[in-house]
Chains A and B, each alone.
Chain A
Amino acid sequence: MKQQIPAATPQKPVEQPKEEVKSKEAKPVAEKITAGHIHLSGCTGCEVAIADNYAGLLTLLDRYVDWVYDLTLADVRHVPKMDVAMVEGSVCIQDKLSVEEIKETREKAKIVVALGGCACYGNITRFARGGQTNQPQHESFLPIGDIIKVDVYIPGCAPTPQMIRNVCVMAYLLLKGNPDQQALAKKYLTPLMQLAERGTEACGCDLMIEVVNQGLCMGCGSCAAACPVRAITHEYGKPNVNREMCIKCGACYAQCPRSFFNFDVINEYQGILDAITGALQ
C-alpha cells in the first residue's frame, strides 16, 4: 500500500498516543514503522482479524504503520525488508517455497511475530498427516518457531483484532517512541516474547499440566471463555478439556491469569488501554 500512496500525500500530523502511565513530555513522532503479513499454511482468518480493526486499521495505516507486504490485501509479490513481519500459518517442510519464504522473512524483518495458533503452535496443522491428492507428500507442518527464531507470539484461532492492534501500537512505541514509551512497550511485549521462548507446543492439556498440576488454578473461568471451539467446561470450578474438540490453538493457556500475570503492566490497565484507544481515535 505504501507504493500506491501518491508521493504528494501530505503526512497527517501524528498524534502522540497519550501516555497516562507516566505522563512525560511527548515528543512528536513522525516516522512510521514498516510491517507486513506473510501467509504460509494458514487460512487467512488471521489476516481477516487484522482487517477487523475496521476504521482503526485505517488509522493505524495513516499514522503508525506502512503495510509493505501482504499478498491478500496489496500488490507486492516479494518479501521486502520491514520492521515487523506478522506471519500467519505453519510451514510445510515439503514445500520449498514456504521454507524459503519463512527463512527470507527472518532475514528481512527486525521483529517476527507469529500470528495465530498455526504460526505459534501448528494449530489444526498439527493433525495433518499427508496423503491427499494432488500433493500427498505434504505431510509435515511445523510452527514457524521450529524453523526460525520468533520474537513475539499472538496465539489463538483466530487471534483477536485487539491483540493485533495492541502489538502493532506497542511495536511502534518500541521502535519509534521516547524512552518511557519504549520501556512500557517492552514491559507489555515481554510475556508475549516469553511465550515465544517457551516452545511450539500447545494444547488444552496445558491447563492441566502447567496450571492445575502446578497448584495454580483458582477457577476463574478465563480458559473456557477463551476457547474458540468450546472444548473447555468447568467441573466443580476446575477446567475440563474435551481433547477430541481441542484444536491446539494455545488461547486458553495464554489467557489464563496463572500462565503469566505481570503486575507492572496489568496494574496500569486503565492508562494503557486509554493510550491505545486514544492512539487510534
Chain B
Amino acid sequence: MSKVVEISPTTRHEGHSKLVLKVNDEGIVERGDWLSITPVRGIEKLAINKTMDQVPKIASRVCGICPIAHTLAGIEAMEASIRCEIPRDAYLLRVVLQCANRLHSIALHNILTLPDMYIPGTDTKINPFTPEEPVRSVAKRIQRIREIGQTVGEIAGGECIHPSNPRVGGLYKACSERAKNKMYDLAKEGLILAREQEDFMIAVLRNYQNRDWSEVGGKQIPIPKTLGYHNQGYMAVHPVYGSSSLDPCPTWDPERWTDVRPWDWYMGEVEVNLAEPNYPIGGTSPVGTKANPQMEACTGVPLYDGQPVEVGPRARLVKFRNYDEKGTIGQQVARQLEYTDSVYAMINALDEYNPAGKVLADKIPQGEGELGFAANEAPRGTDVHLAKVKDGRVLYYEMLVPTTWNFPTCSRALTGAPWQLAEVVVRGYDPCVSCATHMIVIDEDARVVAQKLIQ
C-alpha cells in the first residue's frame, strides 16, 4: 500500500517549492509531485499596458540568478513583436552577457549540489563553507569563477544582477576598447579555473555515481543506478544563446506548445501518513498534514508536442552535441561540460566585437500588436517570452521559464528513486522557482488533450 510523505520546503535551490511523494513499502517513489509554492507576483498580468521598455526590467526581477535570460528574452520578445533588428555589436555584447551569467550560475549551483556529494574516497559529505582543505580551495575557486562571470556581466550589462544596459533596440552603451580587453583578460583567467572546476565536479559526480549508498538522516540509502531517469523528450533552441520569431527559421515553435493548469496535472488532496523526523534538517511534514498539490501549485504546466520536456544543459547537449547520458548524474555532468563552453563562446563573441560599432537601432518601431517571441537558453534551460506590443505598450505578455518546463518532467524523474533522494533529483535541475510563477493561457483544446493524457 502506498504512503504519502511530504518534504516542505525543499532547500538549496532558488525560491519555495515542495515535494509530495507517494511511496511503496520499500520507500520507492511511485508518483512524485514537485511543485512551486512561491506566491505568484503575477508579472505577466501586471505587464499589461505598461511600456515595452519597462516590462523587461520588471521581468528581469522574477529571478536574480538568471535575470539576464529574462531581461534578454523579455527585450527580444518586444523586439520580435515590433520587428526591430538590432546591430551586430549589440548582439555580440548580449552574447557575452549571456555567457557571463551562465558561468556564474553553474558555479553557484556547484555550491548547492556539493553538500549531497562525498569527498572522493571517503564517507565525508562536502560542506562547501568549511575552512578546511581540500574544500576551501574549491570554494575559493568557485567564488572566483563567479566573480569573473559577474564582473564581465557588470561591464557588458551595466549590472550583473538585473542588467541595466540592454534595452529595446540594442544597448544603452557600447563597451570601450579597454572594457573589451578587461573582459577578455577575465575570460582567459576564467577558462583555466573553469576547466579545473569542471574536472573536479565531474570526478565528484562520478564518485557519487559509483557509490552504493548515500547517508540521509542517519540511514544509508541505496543509490539506484537509474536515479533520475525519465523517458520524456528534450527541448533546446540553441547551444548558447537563443532564437526569436525574427529569425528566418526560428528553432522554437509556438504551435507545438500547450499549457495545462495544475488542476489537471497534479494530485488532489492527500494526507501525509509517513513522516521521518530524522530527515535533514528538521524532518518531513508530520503525519496528518494535508497536502493538495493541485490547489497549491503556483505554476502552470507547459507541454511541447503534448508532453513534458526537459530543458537545460543536458537538453542542449542532447540536441546539439549527441550527448546521451540519462539520470541525475548525467544531467549534472552535462552542466559541468558547459563551464568551458560558455567561456569559449564568450571569447569568440569578444573577438568579433567592435567597440566602435553601433549598439542601438536607428529606428525603433512602436509595434502593431503582432505576436513575437524570443526563446533564450538560460542556464537552467529554454526561457521563452511571448509579447504583443502596440504603440509602445504591452498588450500581452507570457513567460515560459525553464523551471516551469522542468517541473512536470522532474516529477516523472522521481519515480523509482528512494524518497530520501528526491531532493537530490530535484537539485539536479538547478531549479529556480520564483521565476516559475507565471500565467497560463486558457486553451480549452489543450486542456482536453492533457486530460486524456493523464487518464
Contact = CB atoms under 8 A, between A and B. Distances in A.
A157 B57 CA distance: 11
B58 A124 contact: yes
B42 A130 contact: yes
A20 to B, nearest CB: 27
Contacts of A58: 129, 131, 136, 139-140, 143
Given A1-B129, A45-B64, A247-B61, A55 B42 contact: no
Contacts of A134: 40, 261-263, 297-300, 440
Contact of B162 (A4, A45, A62): A45
B234 interface: no
A132 B434 contact: no
B325 to A, nearest CB: 27
A5 B130 contact: yes
Given A48-B108, A73-B112, A77-B9, A244 B46 contact: no
Main secondary structure of the interface of A (DSSP, over half): loop
A232 to B, nearest CB: 11
Contact of A72 (B12, B58, B129): B12
Nearest to B442: A133
Contacts of A41: 38-39, 41, 434
B152 interface: no
Nearest to B294: A134
A48 B65 contact: yes
Interface in B1-53: 8-9, 11-16, 37-46, 50-51, 53
Contact of B11 (A6, A43, A74, A92): A74
Interface string A31-44: 00000000101111
A230 B285 CA distance: 45
Contacts of A154: none
A218 interface: no
B300 to A, nearest CB: 6
Nearest to B62: A43
A12 B263 CA distance: 53
A138 to B, nearest CB: 4
Interface stretch (A94-102, A106-114, A167-175, A257-265): A94-102
A131 interface: yes
Looking at chain A, what size class is its interface with the partner chain? 35 or more
A133 B300 contact: yes
A129 interface: yes
A84 B135 CA distance: 27
Contacts of B39: 41, 92, 94-95, 98, 135, 138, 141
B159 to A, nearest CB: 6
B447 to A, nearest CB: 12
Nearest to B295: A134
B97 interface: no
B139 to A, nearest CB: 6
B162 A228 contact: yes
Interface in A211-251: 227-230, 244-245, 247
Contact of B146 (A46, A54, A74, A124): A54
A158 B64 contact: yes
Contacts of B125: 4
Contacts of A75: 11-12, 115, 280-281
Nearest to A89: B434
B370 interface: no
A249 to B, nearest CB: 9
A132 B438 contact: yes
B341 interface: no
Nearest to A5: B130
Contact of B57 (A46, A125, A229): A229
Contacts of A43: 61-64, 67, 434-435
B42 A138 contact: yes
20 contacts: A4-B129, A6-B132, A12-B131, A44-B63, A45-B63, A45-B162, A49-B64, A54-B143, A54-B144, A55-B143, A61-B129, A72-B13, A75-B281, A76-B281, A127-B58, A134-B40, A229-B57, A230-B164, A244-B50, A245-B57
Interface of B: 8-9, 11-16, 37-46, 50-51, 53-54, 57-58, 61-65, 67, 108, 111-112, 115, 125, 127, 129-132, 136, 139-140, 143-144, 146-147, 150, 158-162, 164, 172, 261-263, 280-282, 297-300, 432, 434-435, 437-440, 442
